[in-house]
Structure 1
Amino acid sequence: MRTGIELHQARVHYGPLEALHGVTLAAPSPGLTILLGRNGSGRTTALRALAGTAPLTTGTVTWDGTDVTHLSAHERARRGLAFVPEGQAVFGHLTVDENLHLYGGGGPKADITPALKAYPELRPLLPRRAGTLSGGEQRMLALTRTLLAAHARVTLIDEPVQAMSPTTAARTYELLTSLSAHTCVVTAEQRLPPGLREHASRTAVVVHELRRGAVAFSGEASELS
């Protein structure tokens, strides 16, 4: 197991407020990493710092041992980083079908079968505009980009199961666990997903718990009380 992406002594400011206070954390590749914390803990900012959408005030971001701190978000995406932010993460004016084909490479011949196999609930919604879907349906659609982005080497997801039913949420974490068997997956969560410790036997599950912009715990999921 090797390190996929890391923050080193990262500080991020929003105006005069410092959201991250010298955060250092690492996500293995392959493997599943959870950034755990309540609202305001800094977990979303840490994820955005890795993605390049929240510039660092000081500190570095390294990816496979290379400093990518000054690479823009779109340059990181071009190198194989996929980011699914919290909330509105779909193209609301496009149909579900158009969103899926865009995620699959943009062409009309893009294979969207993996997305519909993972979330068959989307099939009858293909002609609908994405902005008219429920919160859980939009989340499913947003997550399909992690299945259709074949070049992705690092996948960052903020609140992956937000607004999903318990059954769909459990299926989503099964999908993410399968994905993390061959790539680096980092998610931000308010609490440790039920049953996650069971996945530790199949793939590395690392947890970094953040509190008030600092790391309070780093270790395996099984070690977290």
Structure 2
Amino acid sequence: MRNGIELRRARVRYGPLEALHGVTLAAPAPGLTILLGRNGSGRTTTLRALAGTAPLTTGAVTWDGTDVTRLPAHARARRGLCFVPDGQAVFGHLTVAENLRLSAPGSGPGGDLSPALDAYPELRPLLPRPAGTLSGGEQRMLAVSRALLTAGARVILVDEPTQGMSPAVASRTYALLAGLSRRDPPTCVMTAEQRLPSGLREHAGRTAVVVHELRRGAVVFSGEAAELSRRTPET
């Protein structure tokens, strides 16, 4: 794949347990890719493998056709990869404003926070509060804002972006993520979810949506979201 990020025959072990069993999948750029699966399916490990925080036992990570398997997580971040994990995604002892400034262009007191506050006006009255005092949904808004503020992000990985959000805010979040995928230069956006977000076609607009479904560390489906929705549920 010329543009985007992918795993090739990737295996990841945690001690004696193998979490990924030769996973091959691709996330194009531009585009929105969704990893589906229940807890324990390998969704989070897949994101961590792409981000460089879960080393591969065997296999490879390629980015825009270049092998980056040996590139550490911090080097991938400098190259334009933004990873928003599902837990500990904000600095609880810092205020909301301080968390946002860590990712804002021109980090510091003069950093421009407007992209995050325009996307999530709910955060504006919370700016002086410690992030650790926010509700789960508010913390997810703050975490996703990292991707909105990170200048030059070319790969954006978000684990369960809408956890704890109201349906209206969740819908807005997927519209925002789809919009990020259409930025210039081409941006790859990948999220991990337990189930396909409702109204995904409406949220994504004209953005192509690719879905990979995982079970027990293996890919059982890869294709467009519309194909998955037409599949007959297993009995």
2:224 corresponds to which residue? 220
Amino acid at match of 2:104: G
Match of 2:177, SS?
helix
1:153 corresponds to which residue? 154
Match of 1:117, SS?
helix
Summarize deviations over 1:147-189 as a string: whole Å, max 9, x none: 1001100000000000111111011011011111231100000
Alignment of 1:48-87 (within 5 A): 48-87=48-87
Match of 2:210 among 200, 206, 218: 206
> 1:149 and 1:21 mapped to 2: Cα distance?
32
Kept after mapping to 1: 8 A contact 2:174/2:204? no
> 2:203 and 2:143 mapped to 1: Cα distance?
23
Match of 2:201 among 184, 193, 197: 197
> 2:8 and 2:72 mapped to 1: Cα distance?
18
2:232 corresponds to which residue? none
> 2:84 and 2:142 mapped to 1: Cα distance?
11
2:169 corresponds to which residue? 168
Match of 1:59, SS?
strand
What TM-score does the superposition give when structure 2 sets the normalisation length? 0.93
Amino acid at match of 1:53: T
Amino acid at match of 2:118: K
Segments of structure 1 that go 5 or more residues without pairing to the other structure are: none
Summarize deviations over 1:97-149 as a string: whole Å, max 9, x none: 11111111422211000100000000000100001111111110011111100
2:124 corresponds to which residue? 123
1:7 corresponds to which residue? 7
Kept after mapping to 1: 8 A contact 2:34/2:190? yes
TM-aligned CA distance change 1:219 to 1:84, over 3 Å: same
TM-aligned CA distance change 1:132 to 1:200, over 3 Å: closer
1:185 corresponds to which residue? 189
Kept after mapping to 2: 8 A contact 1:3/1:26? no
Displacement of 1:199 after TM fit?
5.1
Match of 2:89, SS?
coil
2:135 corresponds to which residue? 134
> 1:164 and 1:214 mapped to 2: Cα distance?
29
Kept after mapping to 1: 8 A contact 2:172/2:203? no
Summarize deviations over 1:174-224 as a string: whole Å, max 9, x none: 101111123110000000000113456601100000011000000000000
